[in-house]
Amino acid sequence: MIFVASSMFQAMGNTLPSLISSGVRLALIVIPAVVLSRMPGFQLHTIWYLAVGAVYVQLALSMLLLSREFRRRLGFAVPQAKAA
């Protein structure tokens, strides 16, 4: 789904939302991983849990941004009521 959303953004000519969602995913993995790696008792499998959670957040964000982009681009003008 993430790859499809990324391709849709590319097809619409607006790749910034895809870049944002990928950046959020990386930040959600890297920042906590660095902080947690300095704590005693850190185990490598924690990073895998962070990665899985970050992918789900990226999926939700990509779908939200794609929905917003579709609404923006496919919004039809509402006809104005004629005054009598």
In this prediction, residue 84 carries a pLDDT of 56
Contacts of residues 21-26 at CB distance under 8 Å and 24 or more positions apart, as own/partner, are: 21/58, 21/61, 21/62, 21/65, 22/58, 24/54, 24/57, 24/58, 24/61, 25/54, 25/55, 25/57, 25/58, 26/54
- Work out the mean pLDDT of the chain and round it to a whole number: 90
- Nearest 5 degrees, angle CA 32-CA 45-CA 53? 55
Is 7 within a domain?
A: no
Backbone phi, then psi, for 37, in 5-degree steps? Answer: -65, -20
Is 80 within a domain?
A: no
Is 6 within a domain?
A: no
Is 5 within a domain?
A: no
Number of structural domains found in the chain: 1
Contacts of residues 29-34 at CB distance under 8 Å and 24 or more positions apart, as own/partner, are: 29/54
Mean pLDDT of 63-82: 80
Range of the domain at 56: 17-73
Is 52 within a domain?
A: yes
Mean pLDDT of 59-68: 94
